[in-house]
Structure 1
Amino acid sequence: MSWKRARSEDQKAERILAIQDAAGSLFLSADYHSIGLEQIAKRAGFTRPNLYRYYRSKEEIFLAILQRDLESWVGEMESDSMSAAALKTGGEPGASSAFAGWWVKHFTAQPRLPRLLPLMSFSLDDNAGEELLREFKLHLADISLRIAEIVRSRLPWYPAEALADFPTMQLALVTGLMPMATRSEVHNRVLEDPRLRIFAIDFETRYRKVLEQFILGVQCRQDADRAARDAGQYRDAGQ
């Protein structure tokens, strides 16, 4: 891209998108910490000073990319109406497994999101400007509400009081599992030792398994609470 000053809002939006696309493409094949503003500017066809007209830090660029990817992911789940109908199975056996598989399939279909989301807590939040961070958090709050509705519509039995915590729980799972599944060549060679295979984690497989266990745990807790209430009512009726 040959540099010309953006004169209109459309041209500015085009520049911003070019910067985000350049950074996003670099992230697909490189570690986040190895990517610098100079590389991003070069990939976008800008000079570094011109890039500063739109973003003041690498963190702000990747926070904007994360916002785009979250929107894409949640939008894809919302529009997957066929799966929504198929997954309305109440508390039937297999519902938790079916939902976990559906959820993880959509999540891992976003090529950057599994690696990018954990960075939100460790780098992006702390190094972005106040205005952009506030905008991102407001968008994240909306995303969380939409996720809660996605869960409610596909797992109708899921406790209403637990829906608000579901997005936070998923962030915790991804933030914990993804670094364990992202390994260097040296790490992979070490894990060829049969005694160390327990540390060879496949992210998609493990995330699905842990999510299924999490949902089953919520269901078991709900069943136990219901049984306790029923037992209490039975005792009260017998007095």
Structure 2
Amino acid sequence: MPKGSEKLTNARKEEIVNACASLYETMGFKDITIRDIGEKTSFTRTSIYNYFQTKEEIFLALLQREHEAWIADLETIIHQHESLSAGEFAHELAVTLERRGTMLKLMSMNLYDMEGNSRLENLVSFKKVYAKAMRTITCCLEKFFPYMGVNDIQEFLYAFFPFLFGLYPYTTATDKQKEAMEIARVNYVQYSVYEITKSFVTKMLFFFEKENVPETHQS
């Protein structure tokens, strides 16, 4: 990379990721090609390979950016509130996820393809941000629910993060899927990301409160 070109490199990477995000709003992951992405940028398609070797690396960069935006929202919750009840925190957390539809869709639908077809350095970069998201959730729990011990927090994380991977399919169904469920007589009730997350997180936190608060009162 030529000296002094880091700013240009970052700007072009951002333009490529923006193009990918725009296409993903109306096209499926498998249908989008490097050519499609290149046509939405201001430079030649072949120049993309100077920054990303595969389309999966571009999508992984998009997923990383989505996580960074989510972390920023979580940090805002920490800084803006001195205390939150279980219901209040569940509401705040649900709002942050409601804004991250692209993140949830990529996590549930395309993660294995992205990780399998990306260079190790790109995957490590994403995993570092993913780990930061887990640490930020941990910080939220430590601040707002001090009765939760290390094991409690670990249990919450092991339930909450796998929950995220299945959230998108349960809140988004295509017309074809809805028709199939109707024919199969599946009792399908569609809930929003906000509704499912708020309910899940509230129940999880109430469980830990029930397990821990009585002991605190006795001490």
Tell me the TM-score range normalised by the shorter chain: 0.7 to 0.9
On the 8 A contact 1:191/1:200 being kept in 2, the answer is no
Say which SS state the counterpart of residue 51 (structure 2) adopts. coil
Query: Aligned match of 1:97 in 58, 67, 87?
Result: 87
On the 8 A contact 1:115/1:178 being kept in 2, the answer is yes
Aligned residues: 217
Query: Aligned match of 1:136 in 126, 138, 144?
Result: 126
**Alignment RMSD:** 3.0
For 1:125, give the aligned amino acid: E
Query: Aligned match of 1:50 in 47, 51, 68?
Result: 47
Q: Does 1:127 align with 2:124?
A: no
What TM-score, normalized by structure 1, do the two folds share? 0.77
Residue 52 of structure 1 and its aligned partner are, at CA, apart by 1.1
Residue 138 of structure 1 and its aligned partner are, at CA, apart by 2.3
> In structure 2, how many angstroms separate the alpha carbons of the residues matched to 1:190 and 1:200?
15
Q: In the alignment, what sits opposite 2:12?
A: 15
Query: Aligned match of 2:162 in 139, 147, 172?
Result: 172
For 1:50, give the aligned amino acid: S
> In structure 1, how many angstroms separate the alpha carbons of the residues matched to 2:45 and 2:155?
41
Say which SS state the counterpart of residue 38 (structure 2) adopts. helix
Aligned pairs for 1:98-117 (under 5 A) are 98-117=88-107
On the 8 A contact 1:117/1:171 being kept in 2, the answer is no
In terms of mean alpha carbon deviation, does 58-67 or 107-116 score higher? 107-116
Q: In the alignment, what sits opposite 1:222?
A: 212
Residue 24 of structure 1 and its aligned partner are, at CA, apart by 1.2
Say which SS state the counterpart of residue 112 (structure 1) adopts. helix
Residue 69 of structure 1 and its aligned partner are, at CA, apart by 1.4
> In structure 2, how many angstroms separate the alpha carbons of the residues matched to 1:221 and 1:177?
26
Residue 143 of structure 1 and its aligned partner are, at CA, apart by 2.8
Q: 1:19 to 1:146 in 2, by over 3 A?
A: same
RCO comparison, higher one (Cα < 8 Å, 6+): 2
Runs of 4+ in 1 over 4 A off after TM superposition: 190-193
> In structure 1, how many angstroms separate the alpha carbons of the residues matched to 2:64 and 2:156?
19
Residue 133 of structure 1 and its aligned partner are, at CA, apart by 1.0
Query: Aligned match of 2:68 in 68, 71, 80?
Result: 71
Q: In the alignment, what sits opposite 2:135?
A: 145
On the 8 A contact 1:22/1:40 being kept in 2, the answer is yes
Stretches of structure 2 lacking an aligned partner (at least 5 in a row): none
Q: In the alignment, what sits opposite 1:209?
A: 199
On the 8 A contact 2:101/2:168 being kept in 1, the answer is no
> In structure 1, how many angstroms separate the alpha carbons of the residues matched to 2:139 and 2:45?
42
Query: Aligned match of 1:30 in 18, 27, 40?
Result: 27
Q: Percent identity?
A: 21
Q: 1:144 to 1:31 in 2, by over 3 A?
A: same
> In structure 2, how many angstroms separate the alpha carbons of the residues matched to 1:64 and 1:10?
17
Q: Does 1:61 align with 2:58?
A: yes
Residue 6 of structure 1 and its aligned partner are, at CA, apart by 10
Larger Rg: 1
On the 8 A contact 2:147/2:212 being kept in 1, the answer is no
Q: 1:33 to 1:171 in 2, by over 3 A?
A: farther
